[in-house]
Structure 1
Amino acid sequence: MKNNKKRLSTAVFYGVVIVMALVVLFPFLWMLASSFKTQLDVVAWPPKLFFTPTLQNYRKVFGEQDFLQYFLNSTVVATLAVGLSLALGLPAAYSISRFAQRRLGMFILLARLMPGISFLMPWYIVFSRLNLMDSYTALVLSHMLIALPIVVWIMSSYFDTIPRDMEESAMVDGATRQYAFFKIILPLSGPGIITATTLSFIFSWNNFMFSQVLSMEKTKTLPIAVYNFLSYAETDWGGVMAAAVAIMAPALILTMFFQRYVVKGLTMGAVKG
């Protein structure tokens, strides 16, 4: 009897997991399937579950569009934005954690909570006056509004979990606080740093709004590339889906590769003491 109940509960558990996974994965699977369909198959009703796959949409993305340049632009902008955010955010998060500067932490986090569109007009005026429109500088600084608060928010909580005794012991032996931070605290913060890097990179990689306003032909990023398949007369849904898959692929691979570190970093950052 107990075995039957155990089997039933196990079956119910896996059934619920499968249903939830299908609900979550359905949009992605639909997008992936549509990227291999012709325009007629994409808009067909009822939807075609069985169709002859084609690579024509991906040929448009990588052949007819300057997709590799968009990819390079997104890589440069996201990498620089995340790198500078780590350089500024890690010391800031350490200071917030060790000196209880919670008001400063809330002020930095406020930039992430505010709608991004509220920054567009000030950014546009400043960068246009400085002749920095369509430059990596403008995009990197604007993307840091996304990446820097994430780094500070995650790492300040993560530093709280590291006992103060470690750095205090080093300082008793003559080490400076800076030395203790770089040589003791940071090496122990690997999962948190990987978590902050991964999440801030993904948010920067997928950002559309800042790139739409501040970039032009020279610095267009990948999310803007989807716009090339939209027009007043017709929307090339197959091309849109193929471009979306190509845009999601790097972020998806990065997330899968660092998944266990991200989970560990978020879990440790959520537990104090």
Structure 2
Amino acid sequence: MTPRTRRRIRRLADRTALGLSVAVLLAPCLFVFFWMVSLSVKYDIDNTAWPPVFWPEQMTFENFKKVFEESPMFLYFWNSVQVTGSATLVSLLLGVPAGYGIAKAKANRMAGVLLLSRMTPGLSYLIPLFTLFQIIGLIGTVWPIALTHLVITLPIVVWIMIGFFETQPHELEEAARIDGATLWQAFRYVALPLARPGIVVGAILSFITSWNNFIFGAVFAGRTTRTMPVAVYNMLTFESFAWGPLAAAAIVVMLPVILLTIVIQKEIVQGLSTGGVK
């Protein structure tokens, strides 16, 4: 056997091992997603049958119809858009400059504090925030939900942007300062365009985290200000589980995130491979 043939066999073995590893890791997630789709297009008799019916002989979309007929899902969707959009936008407006300042000042302790705040469970913020919003009179509106989402989205953006700004060449900004640019102008015209992939990644991760958050919406929202995850939870009853409508509602919640990820997947890959996300 020639060395060239050995290299080909080794490459083929490495690719096969990598493919099997990816398949093993993805199989549980894909099965759960497939089972959820299967539940959403089956009748109740098939959803409770034994042995399980993995795919129905006759599909139905009555579960999706029931979701929109029995609950104001469009209103909850709009509430989620307001909450997630405002939380993501404010996180970018505050987090990108903060990440730049921490990276340039090499304030590693500040970065550690941000990481600690990200690791702190959201439940620990509920009592003081609920008391504060109750005094102000914001309980039952979408604003407390959006503000509390900053607790989880802002550290994500800052932490990501620190990694991107630390990897940028300092010579470009120094050249701009020598030419007479202020610190703000160097940030705006030099550092910010180079950090575009990081901004995209931070925005996407903030959007996904805020969109899927449940606990803050369950505590602070009213009947007309519920977000999508809270609306899905409210479909559960003590008498029985309507698995079909519940799975259909879960797919409706997941669909915007899935579509967004598919549309801008190139930006996500470019951002993750460019700036060394921490």
Structures share fold, TM-score greater than 0.5: yes
1:208 lines up with 2:233 in the alignment: no
Q: Report the secondary structure of 1:147's partner residue.
A: helix
Counterpart in 2 of 1:191? 197
Amino acid at match of 2:124: S
SS of 1:229's equivalent?
coil
In the superposition, relative to structure 1, how do residues 12 and 89 fare at CA in structure 2: closer, same or farther (>3 Å)? closer
Structure 1 residue 271 displacement after superposition: 7.8
Query: Partner of 2:187: helix, strand, or coil?
Result: helix
**C-alpha deviation, 1:244, in angstroms:** 0.5
- The 3 A distance-change label for structure 1 pair 183 and 12 is closer
My pick for the range that moved more, 46-55 or 203-212, is 46-55
1:30 maps to 2:23? no
- CA spacing shift, 1:110–1:13, aligned 2, 3 Å: closer
Change (3 A) 1:26 1:166: same
The residue aligned with 1:145 is 151
Secondary structure of the 2:222 match is coil
Partner of 1:48: 53
Query: Shift in Å at residue 15 of structure 1?
Result: 4.5
Structure 2, gaps ≥5 residues long? none
Instruction: From 217, 231, 235, give the equivalent of 1:229.
Output: 235
- Displacement of 1:11 in angstroms is 5.1
How far apart are the structure 2 equivalents of 1:126 and 1:13? 51
Deviates more, 1:174-183 or 1:105-114: 105-114
The residue correspondences of 1:232-271 to structure 2 (distance < 5 A) are 232-270=238-276
Q: Give 1:71-90 correspondences, 5 Å limit.
A: 71-90=77-96
The range that moved more, 253-262 or 153-162, is 253-262
For residue 275 of structure 2, give the secondary structure of its aligned residue in structure 1.
helix
Counterpart residue number, 2:126: 120
Q: What is the aligned partner in structure 2 of residue 66 from structure 1? A: 72
Task: Give the CA deviation at 1:264.
Answer: 2.7
How far is 1:26 from its partner?
Answer: 0.9
Amino acid at match of 1:100: K
Is this contact kept in 1: 2:38–2:55, CA < 8 A?
Answer: no
Secondary structure at the residue paired with 2:45? helix
- Residues 152-198 of structure 1: per-residue CA shift (max 9 Å, x gap): 01000111111111111111111101011111111111110000000
Q: Residue 217 of structure 1 aligns with which residue?
A: 223
Gaps of 5+ in 1: none
CA contact (8 A) 1:85 1:147 kept: yes
Aligned mates of 1:110, 1:203 — CA distance in 2: 17
- Pick from 26, 32, 35 the counterpart of residue 21 of structure 1: 26
* CA drift at 1:19: 4.1
For structure 1, which segment, 30-39 or 10-19, has the greater mean C-alpha deviation from structure 2 after superposition? 10-19
Deviation at 1:219, TM superposition (A): 1.2
2-structure distance, mates of 1:123, 1:155: 27
Cα gap change, 1:103/1:43 in structure 2, threshold over 3 Å: closer, same or farther? same
Displacement of 1:101 in angstroms is 1.2
Deviations 1:179-220 (A, max 9, x none): 111111111111100000000100000000000000011210
The TM-score, its normalising length taken from structure 1, stands at 0.93
Is 2:77–2:228's contact at 8 Å kept on the other side of the alignment?
A: yes
Structure 1 residues 241, 148: CA separation in 2 closer, same or farther (over 3 Å shift)? Answer: same
Name the counterpart of 1:154: 160
Contact 1:229 1:237 in 2 (8 A): no
- Kindly, what percent of the aligned residue pairs are identical? 41
- 2:141 equivalent to 1:135: yes
Tell me the SS of whatever aligns to 2:213: coil
Aligned Cα root-mean-square deviation (Å)? 2.0
Q: 1:63 to 1:190 in 2, by over 3 A?
A: same
CA contact (8 A) 2:44 2:243 kept: yes
